[in-house]
Structures are given as C-alpha cells and as structure tokens.
Amino acid sequence: MLEIPTKSSSTIDKEFMSFIDGAFVDTAGAQTVENINPADGSVLGTTYLLSKEQAEKAIQSAKEAFPAWRAVPAPKRAKIFAAFQRILEERKEELAKALTAEEGKRLPEALGEVQKTINIVEFMVGEGRRFGGRTIPSEMENTLAYTVRQPLGVVGLITPWNFPVAIPVWKIVPALIAGNTAVFKPATNTPKTACMVVEMLHEAGLPPGVLQLTIGRGSTVGDLIVNHEDIKALSFTGSNPVGQRLYHDGAARGIKVQCEMGGKNPIVVLDDADVDLAVEATVQGAFGSTGQRCTATSRAVVTEAVADEFVKKLVAKAKNIKIGDGMNSDTDMGPIVDDGQLNSVIEGVEQAKKDSSCGELLLGGERATDGGLEKGYFFQPTIFDKVEPGSFLAQEELFGPVLAVIRVKNFDEAIEAANSVKYGLSSSVYTKNTDLVFRFLDLIETGITHVNSPTMGGEAQLPFGGVKATGVGAREMGTEGVEFFTELKTIYIDYTGEKREGNLY
C-alpha cells in the first residue's frame, strides 16, 4: 500500500489540495499560490501544489486501482455517476457560486455551465448500458465474429480554467465509465471547483484510487503525466503551444492523444440576414463569458450590403454592456480570469491599435477601471471594424472580449475569409437563403457550425471538437467521448470443432 499522508476531511472553503487514493493530501511544506477572485483581487484561499514525487504516487495509486475498477460491470460503474448527477443537481448553486468567484463569469453563465455538466453526466450514465461493440458476419462457416471495447488503463486528463466544471467532467466521466482510472490535472487558478467536483464524485461512491486530483505546475505535474510510462492515453484542452508539444510527446510514446486547442470562430452575416438577430448573436458570442470560450465569436465576417447597419447596431448594443462582479445581478460581463490573461489581452489589443491592417477601433480597447473596477481584471468590450482577413487581429486568438469585423463583397469572399485562419472549431452563418446555407455547410472548415444561431454552445449527446490546428484525436462528448478512452478488440469464435482448410488470410 502506498504511504500518502492525508487529511481526514476537506477544508475546501479556504485550502485547495490534491486528492490521492481517496483522501485530500497533507501538503504541509508544499509550494503554495493564492487563489484570487478576478472581480476584486481578494484572496479566496491557498492552493497547495503537488511535488513531482507526490504526483508519481498518484499515478501509482491509479495503476493499483485499475484491475478492480475494470472488473466492475459498466452498468454498475454508471450507477455511481447517476448518484453524482443527483449531487450536482442538489449543489448546483453552491458549485456555480464557487465557479463565479474564482473564474469570473457571471452567475447565470456559471449556472448554465453546471447545468450543461449535469446534462453531460445524464447522457454518459446511459453509456454504461450502451457500452459495447458489434456482431459482424464472418465469411467462415460456424464462426461468430464480434468486437468489444476495453479500457486502456490509467489515463491523463489535463483541463483549462475557462470551463473548470464542464470540461473536467466531460473527460472524467466517460474515461471512468469505460473502465479506466484517471489522473486529473486542473488549471491551478481554478482549484476550488476541481476539489468540489472530485469530492462530489467520491461522495457518490467512487472507490479510492480510481480518480486522482493532482494540482500542480505544468512543468512538474503536467510533464510527469504526459511522459509517464503508466499513462496510456492523454486528453488535453488548452493552448496550441502546450497541446502541440503534448501531442508530440504522446506520439513518441505511441499512446492515444486527444487535444482541443485554440479557435478563431467566425459569424458570417450575408446580405439577406436578419441583422438584429445577427447582432444579438454576435454580442452574445463575443462578450458572453468575457470572450473566454473556445467557441467565442472573435470574427464577424459581414457582406458590404449590410455592414454599415450591422456595425452601427453592434456598437450601440455593446456600449450598453455593464461590466462588473459576476455575482451582481445587473452585471452583463464579468472580469478576465487573472492578471496574466488580462495582460495578454491588453498586449494583443495594443498591437492591433498600431497595425493599420487591423482596421479602426470603434469601441473599448482599454482596461476597465471606473466605478470601483480598479481592483479587478476587467477589460472593455472591444470592436475593431474594417479588419483585413490576413491581419494579426483576424488570425490570432486573444481569448478576451475583442471582436474583429471583416467586410466582404459576397458569399465567396465570406467563405474565403472565414476559412483563412489556422483554426477550425466553430462557426455560424446568418441568411434566409437555403441554397447559401447548404453551400456554407459544405465549404466551412470547422468541426461545429450553426445556422442562424450563435457560434458558442454544444449539447451533451453530440460530439464536440474542431479541425485544422484546433483539434487532433477523437471528438469529445456524445458516444465519441467514450470511444476515445477504449481499445477495440475483434474476436473470432470457431465452433466447427474441425481443422480449417485453405487460406485464412
């Protein structure tokens, strides 16, 4: 048995610790960082960072737990997650408030994220009874041929801060329902929600060792997970530089790797669009969750016939966005998650201001400090117009409330501009012309696309993911979410009782 000093109970309100072998780890003497509320700079608590040696113990604990967990029938494994779903429903508001406090999104947005998480769990619970393969006719007489799906072993799950409840859950639940054990590394700036999710899972009946929560730096805990010989698959959501390196390292070891990375999502507004509807969708997509969604609208590709009307209405609507603490009921847009991300957005906008190819700044472009916001990490809703498709602002993901409006002559130019980036996650088109709708659906280079609705969003029963530089590996969510965490085995059962003659290939 591994010797891992633990605490008998959680102090999640103020201390955020890793969870190994069924208990919160005693992290006396560990390196710590403060968990900061981005709305006012206040300290929410202390995050204790795992050492490489402790993370090694977590992986070994998951390895030891795998044989027993694998032996539990999938429908019985799923019952634990049905209980987890009920706990999520009971503690929905509590979890959402913790999410708003440490990540910054408005409470209604946080409640929406928790509800989406509940939907994901509800769908995945059913996968416990659908988990299986196919029976396929054999060309040989008296032979039964079929496939089964089997777990991989210990899998590594590395998640970002922008959806600190939904993204971990949409990786954890399918991985565990499939019979794997998992080592989960969340972002260090959203530790409380990670602790709460893992605690709820164990309250639901998850056996010790099946899920390890490892809070630590990417250079120590993250690199260990990526390169450890006992990690049999990796699922990552985050930035392109990190994801590309992880994919390279995983490929060198010959393991399955799934990466969801950046996006530069376009909303395309054509001549016959309902402009008011398109403006509403653009505001939601560009400034909802402070633009910190991988499916956020960062480009509006608009035909010249409606561009002036669109821009005028867009600026007028964005001017009325009230910035503030996400806990306040009258807030329309919350803060950026931390000072590092805020500085990244500021630097990107300053670069765009100096570059003529980035067009004309119509709104915002500065840190928001008026009205008591000076202690938080707030940035104004920002709109640039007449942005060139090849410019820095049109090509690079800033991950903040910044929108580039690109004017085009017609549908063909719109498609060309929309597809001109290295990313390919989500897109949207606004038009009443069904011919153009289907041409758009054929030609757009994104993994997800919407017609007359915003770029963001996804449903639990449908696959989620992108193309080009956005994503590598299998899709997440839906039935595809479970398939990534399994290996397919093909089985032939010969019941002739006789020697086979001829070429058996």
Q: Which residues have a Cβ under 8 Å from the Cβ of 438 and sit 6 or more positions away?
A: none
pLDDT over threshold 50, residue 155: yes
pLDDT over threshold 80, residue 489: yes
Alpha helix ranges (H) inside 72-208? 74-90, 92-103, 107-130, 166-177, 191-203
Percent of the chain with pLDDT over 70: 97
Residue type, 159: T
Q: What is the predicted pLDDT for the residue at 93?
A: 98
Cα–Cα distance, 297 to 397 (Å, whole number):
10
Q: Which of 54-63, 88-97, 437-446, 492-501 has the lowest mean pLDDT?
A: 492-501
The pLDDT tens digits of the residues spanning 168-183 come to: 999 999 999 999 999 9
> What pTM value is reported for the model?
0.95
Burial of 4 (0-12, 13-18, 19+ CB in 10 A): middle
Residue 11's pLDDT band, with cuts at 50, 70 and 90, is: low
The pLDDT tens digits of the residues spanning 170-222 come to: 999 999 999 999 999 999 999 999 999 999 999 999 999 999 999 999 999 99
Where in the chain are the domains? 13-261+461-490, 265-451
Query: Angle CA(237)–CA(148)–CA(67) in degrees, nearest 5?
Result: 70
Bridge partners, residue 43, by sequence = 36
Cα–Cα distance, 136 to 146 (Å, whole number):
5
Torsion of CA 308, 312, 315, 316, to 10 degrees: -170
The maximal CA–CA distance of the chain, rounded, in angstroms, is 86
Average pLDDT in the 61-68 region? 98
pLDDT over threshold 70, residue 138: yes
Cα–Cα distance, 22 to 38 (Å, whole number):
31
Could you give the count of Cα atoms lying within 13 Å of 381 in the half-sphere of its Cβ? 23
Average pLDDT in the 324-351 region? 98
Burial of 433 (0-12, 13-18, 19+ CB in 10 A): middle
Mean pLDDT value across the chain: 95
CATH topology of domain 265-451: Aldehyde Dehydrogenase; Chain A, domain 2 (3.40.309)
Residue 505's pLDDT band, with cuts at 50, 70 and 90, is: low
Bridge partners, residue 16, by sequence = 47
DSSP string, 14-82: TEE--EETTEEE--TT--EEEEE-TTT--EEEEEEPPPHHHHHHHHHHHHHHHHHHHHS-HHHHHHHHH
For 311, 319, 383, 408, 431, the CA distances from 314, given in Å and listed in that order, are 5, 9, 9, 17, 17
Q: What is the predicted pLDDT for the residue at 8?
A: 40
Which sequence positions are flagged as catalytic?
260, 294
Which CATH number is 13-261+461-490 given? 3.40.605.10
Residue type, 485: F
Residue pair 202/36 in contact (Cβ under 8 Å)? The answer is no
pLDDT over threshold 50, residue 10: no
Q: What is the predicted pLDDT for the residue at 30?
A: 85
pLDDT over threshold 60, residue 239: yes
Average pLDDT in the 459-484 region? 95
